[in-house]
Structure 1
Amino acid sequence: MKIQGKLFMWLSVFLLITAVVYGVWSKEAVGTTALFMAFGLAIMIGFYLGFTAQRVDAGAQDDKEADVADGSGELGFFSPHSWQPLGLGLGWALGFLGIAVGWWLLYFAVPLILISVLGWVFEYYRGENRTQ
């Protein structure tokens, strides 16, 4: 994770320089704001990855002498059959459509989002997937 953190920190430096130069030359507020926000996002991700890299073991990507096989193995648990992200995506799409078309669509989007989030959080606490 160290290399990813460094990459995002260098990206944030590049975005900051680009935002300043773009803002001075173009005097356009929207693009300048977007570049400064991209700078903020890059520095947050870089800080998080650098902060997390200190607390976990070094991965294969941090070793310059590592082979591809060194990075194999289990990376974590990912739910193979969850339908909740689909409902969540549809709910957010309907919500953003409600902002563009009419606020009344949010009456349908908000319950769909809440049901999908709760279903995703508590997916393994009920039914056949229940853990002991």
Structure 2
Amino acid sequence: MKIQGKMFLWLALFILAIAVLYGLWAKEPVGTSALFMAFGLSIMIGFYLVFTAKRVDTGAGDNKDAEVADDAGELGFFSPHSWQPLVLAGGCAMAFLGVVFGWWLLFISLPVLLAGIFGWTFEYYHGENQNQ
């Protein structure tokens, strides 16, 4: 994780240099703004990875003598069945269609989006999946 963080920080420095050169040369505000936002995003990801690498054990990616099999094992918990992403996808589709057909559709999609977010956040706090 430490190597990936350093890669993102180097990428951020490269994007910053390109953003400054592009801004001075092209004098075009949209592309310059996009490059500065990409710089900010790269800094955020790089800082997170470097900060997290200090608190967790060294992974196989940080060990030069590691084998591919060293990274094998459990990757985490993934929900086996959930309908909430479908609800969120429907709400997002309605919200984006609101831009095409009218902003009133955004107000109809807002309760669907909120129900999907609420349901996905709290799906393991009720029913058969409730932690005891």
Q: Deviations over 1:54-79 (max 9, x none)?
A: 11111111111100110011121111
Q: Which moved more, 1:23-32 or 1:80-89?
A: 80-89
CA-CA distance at 1:87 after TM superposition:
1.8
What is the TM-score with the length of structure 1 in the denominator? 0.93
CA-CA distance at 1:102 after TM superposition:
1.5
1:93 and 2:121 correspond: no
**Amino acid in structure 1 at the alignment position of 2:47:** F
Consecutive unaligned residues in structure 1, runs of 5 or more: none
Over 6 Å off, 4+ runs: none
Corresponding position of 1:110: 110
RMSD value over aligned CA atoms? 1.3
* % identical equivalent positions: 66
Change (3 A) 1:17 1:3: same
**Amino acid in structure 2 at the alignment position of 1:28:** E
CA-CA distance at 1:128 after TM superposition:
2.6
CA distance in 2, matches of 1:80, 1:33: 41
CA-CA distance at 1:86 after TM superposition:
2.4
Corresponding position of 1:13: 13
CA-CA distance at 1:100 after TM superposition:
4.4
Matches of residues 1-132 of structure 1 in structure 2 within 5 Å? Answer: 1-132=1-132
